[in-house]
């Protein structure tokens, strides 16, 4: 009888533990880009940020989108939120350092989305509860969500640089 109780406790623990957010890697990361190792960087970055239960597809950045983004911005990657997850678009041909910097930055944006600090709607952008829809009033780097991502990306970047 005692063995049965121990077996039952072990079984329940093993079944219920993955349900607790933060206890396991429940992220789904799929790499459709031609960029090697990018899914490893994304997975580790999500772990560093304690983000679980998200779906991420990594794809190549369309060069036509890059040229039509905003004048004066050298776009090497961006993240878009889609129903059911996120798509991270990355430029092919980046150095390891550039790739880690881009992924670190975009993962901060995913954290902003996941914590509802950043809410992007078709006709509005909400940052920390404030409507900041008038983007033409802000330089790209001065937009609060971008400034936050630039300021916090080093937390991830430092740890990703140590990967072999």
Q: Provide the 10 A C-beta neighbour count for residue 45.
A: 25
Where do we find the tokens 């990306």? Answer: 153
Report the DSSP pairing between strands 28-31 and 77-82.
Answer: unpaired
The whole-number pLDDT of residue 7 equals 39
The whole-number pLDDT of residue 8 equals 36
CATH class as words, domain 21-161: alpha beta
Sign of the alpha-carbon torsion through 127, 69, 73, 98:
positive
Q: Provide the 10 A C-beta neighbour count for residue 68.
A: 10
The whole-number pLDDT of residue 18 equals 38
**Domain boundaries of the chain, sorted by first residue:** 21-161
The whole-number pLDDT of residue 84 equals 85
User: pTM of the entire structure?
Assistant: 0.80
Helix, strand, or coil (residue 94): coil
- 10-residue block means of pLDDT along the chain (164 residues)? 40 37 70 90 95 95 68 80 92 91 96 95 89 78 92 92 76
The whole-number pLDDT of residue 67 equals 53
Q: Which H or E run includes 91?
A: none
Query: Beta partners for 28?
Result: 55
Distances (CA, A) of 146 to 28, 79, 135: 25, 12, 12
Token duo for residue 46: 């999500």
Distances (CA, A) of 157 to 19, 48, 80, 122, 131: 29, 10, 20, 31, 30
The whole-number pLDDT of residue 113 equals 96
User: Contact at 8 Å (CB) between 88 and 103?
Assistant: yes
């Amino acid at each position: 009888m005692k063995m049965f109780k121990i077996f039952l406790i072990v079984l329940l623990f093993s079944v219920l533990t993955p349900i607790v957010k933060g206890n396991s890697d429940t992220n789904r990361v799929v790499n459709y880009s031609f960029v090697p190792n990018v899914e490893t960087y994304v997975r580790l970055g999500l772990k560093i940020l304690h983000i679980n239960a998200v779906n991420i597809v990594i794809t190549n950045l369309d060069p036509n989108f890059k040229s039509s983004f905003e004048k004066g911005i050298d776009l090497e990657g961006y993240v878009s939120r889609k129903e059911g997850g996120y798509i991270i678009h990355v430029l092919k041909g980046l150095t390891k350092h550039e790739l880690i910097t881009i992924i670190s930055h975009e993962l901060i944006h995913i954290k902003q989305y996941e914590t509802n600090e950043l809410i992007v709607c078709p006709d509005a952008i909400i940052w920390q509860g404030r409507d900041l829809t008038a983007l033409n009033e802000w330089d790209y780097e001065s937009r609060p969500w971008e400034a936050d991502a630039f300021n916090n990306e080093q937390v991830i970047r430092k740890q990703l640089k140590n990967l072999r």
